[in-house]
């Protein structure tokens, strides 16, 4: 209702308002992209950490298995 009672805006005012709205929207999209990039980077870092943890876990399991297979004696590496 208030829109009907307000004075009509000039073409220049409408263009300025549209430009301002476009700049505002562009800024928020830029911020959203930056946040998404940070989130993607964090997710990638977590994935790399998970893979490294899995590698360490497998290495420990392999060493324990070799230790048990050797009857509790330390297994020497063959050069």
Give the pLDDT confidence score for residue 56 in this predicted structure. Answer: 96
Average pLDDT on 30-57 reads 91
Best mean pLDDT range from 39-43, 48-52, 68-72: 48-52
- DSSP classification of residue 34: H
4 lies in some domain: no
This prediction has a pTM of 0.52
**CA-to-CA separations, 63 to 9, 58, 69, 77, in angstroms, rounded:** 78, 9, 10, 12
In a domain, 31, yes or no: yes
30 falls within a domain: yes
State the pLDDT confidence band at 49, using cuts at 50, 70 and 90: very high
Which domain, by its residues, includes 43? 11-69
């Amino acid at each position: 209702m208030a829109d009907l009672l307000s004075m009509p805006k000039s073409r220049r005012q409408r263009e300025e308002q549209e430009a301002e709205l476009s700049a505002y929207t562009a800024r928020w999209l830029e911020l959203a992209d930056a946040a998404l990039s940070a989130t993607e980077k964090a997710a990638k870092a977590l994935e790399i950490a998970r893979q490294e943890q899995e590698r360490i876990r497998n290495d420990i399991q392999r060493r324990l298995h070799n230790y048990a297979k050797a009857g509790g004696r330390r297994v020497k590496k063959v050069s």
